[in-house]
Amino acid sequence: MALAAQEAGAEYAPGLEERFGPYFRPEHRALRETVREVVERHLKPHAQQWEKAGGFPPDVFRTLGEYGLLGLRVPEILGGAGLDWFSEIVFIEELHRCGMGGLPMGVMVHTDMALPVLVRFGTPEQHRRYLPAALTGKKVLAIAMTEPWAGSDLAGIRTVARRVEGGWVLDGSKTFITNGAIADLLVVAAKTDPPAGRSGISLFLVERGMPGFRTVRTLDKVGMWSSDTGELLFDQCFVPDGHLLGELHRGFYHLMWELEGERLAIAAAAVAMGQEALDQTLEYVRTRHAFGQPIGRFQALQHRIAEMAAALEAARQLVYAAAWRVEQGRRAVKEIMMAKLVATRTAFEVADEALQMHGGYGYTMEYDVQRIWRDLRLYRIGGGTDEMLREVISREMGLRPSRNRETA
């Protein structure tokens, strides 16, 4: 397996584990080789087909589950691999070699957004009922927070859950929900005590097929074509007892914990996509000729590429440093916010420069750099906008008063 992975693409960021010794160990290299082989064998050959189709088959989750890749950070006692954040980063980096941005994002929603909430706040019965299928890819997960009138302002959601005999009734809508059309199980945020604001939000596990729940439509997007983005409706949706996830009225704070991991995963994903754009540019400037020589020999391009590589490396190190703080059990809210802000902006700027260096070809669908450029733009919005991240960073630095440090 290692040899096949090496032959598939050893040119990509060679020797990461050696270059960043404090973070990576030999087991990370073995994992990287495994993921690389899975990507080359099962995902990359279908990239163009799934991009044009606007989605990928749910069987992809089963394939990843067969290789044990859906629960890398899930404790072994719950059926996962019990690995660290750097194992997850290796998975994210290699998954983004598949030739699509949407597919890795859909997988990350499952592994790094919905699943951690279920693991941390779920009851033993909920673990027994849902984790085996989630870890094997037999059930696809999603998380539903955003609403048409509440994005970064999570406390402003209007979906409500009313207590009735035997359970709860949900009413409301959600939008921009990745995996919204294919998810079998969703973590849904709703207000159980509307007058209490953020202190009146709870989380519920909603299964596909529950009466009153449906996907209204999927949205057309600029990028991330291979990932479905759904608009959801809850119309008198009855959710039985036992589907409350975590503590009643503590859903806001549960999600603030979840968002830290989500943002770190997005930051790692952005760097991986930026690296992909840089690699494609290096190949292009070596083979594209102008004025009798490869354009990569022109100093103007060489210096720009050097700046792109340096900026991307700085962003990568910021992501790794934030992950290290998390692994050490240290508070890392500010560091994660900084990592996402810098990584997503830097990666998009690198992709924009990469497209520019491709000239007119970069603006055609013939070269994949345009896809990276389109896909990357979302990561400056999803999981926390640039503007919101700056707000929280400044608050963490003591520049703004905060009544609650756990706010988005």
**Backbone dihedral region of 384: left (phi > 0), alpha (psi from -120 to 50 degrees) or beta?**
left
Cα separation, 116 vs 21, in Å, equals: 27
Q: Out of 37, 40, 88, 262, which one is annotated catalytic?
A: 262
3-state secondary structure of 205: strand
Neighbour-count burial for 205-233, b at 16+ CB within 10 Å, e otherwise: bbbbebeebebeebeebebbbbbbbbbbb
- Which residue, among 159, 71, 156, has the nearest Cα to 118 in the 3D structure? 71
Question: Which residue type occupies 257?
Answer: W
Q: Which residue has the tokens 């709870």?
A: 202
- Which residue, among 341, 324, 354, 350, has the nearest Cα to 396 in the 3D structure? 341
Instruction: Say which residues have a Cβ less than 8 Å from residue 63's Cβ, sequence separation at least 6.
Output: 38, 42, 137
- Residues 174 and 231 sit within 8 Å (Cβ to Cβ): yes
Q: Which residue has the tokens 């450029």?
A: 373
Q: In a 10 Å sphere around its CB, with 0-12 CB exposed, 13-18 middle and 19+ buried, how is residue 60 labelled?
A: buried
Q: Where are the alpha helices (DSSP H) in 12-72?
A: 16-19, 26-38, 47-53, 59-66
Helices (H) and strands (E) in the chain, counts: 14, 10
Cα separation, 206 vs 139, in Å, equals: 12
Question: Quick check: is 66 catalytic?
Answer: no
Q: Which residue has the tokens 């010794």?
A: 21
- Cα Rg for the chain, rounded, in angstroms? 21
Q: Which residue has the tokens 């299964």?
A: 207
If you count them, how many residues does the chain have? 408
Catalytic residues: 262
